[in-house]
Amino acid sequence: MQIMNKPKTIRVLVADPSPAGVEGIISFLETQGETKVVATALNCVEMLRKAKAARPDLIITNISTGDAEGAECVSQLRALLPKVRIIVFTVFEFLMTRVLFLEAGADSVIQGDYLPKRLTFEIRRLFPEE
């Protein structure tokens, strides 16, 4: 008889300049069952500070996190936590933004209109069951 290991819970930091945006993502993640939100942030400085303290497995962020250019913030996150997975979502022009953020160190960039449809797929792609 093979014993099945319980899948690892993915520790998530959610960042969006809008508290309603943060709550919306948290509500969506709660329906997925494989994640636990360990921190939230409303801007880049707060996100960097909380990421350093919470050491999440995954950061889901809106690129317009306020007080720093979004790509620079992603680059700083990548330098701070080289193994963290970063999903960026945006409502801005997608192709140019996608290239910019992937070059800065994001693992995935999702157009905001498709966030609910793509987020579960991207999380499972970045954290395949072992």
In a domain, 1, yes or no: no
The domain that holds 60 is classified in CATH as: 3.40.50.2300
Q: Does the pLDDT at position 69 exceed 90?
A: no
In a domain, 57, yes or no: yes
pLDDT tens for 104-114 read 999 999 887 77
Averaged pLDDT score across all residues of the chain = 86
pLDDT tens for 115-129 read 777 899 999 999 997
In a domain, 15, yes or no: yes
Cβ atoms of 68 and 44 closer than 8 Å: yes
Q: State which residues form the domain around 24.
A: 11-123
Q: What is the per-residue pLDDT for 97? A: 79
In a domain, 3, yes or no: no
d(CA 1, CA 59): 37
Number of domains making up the chain:
1
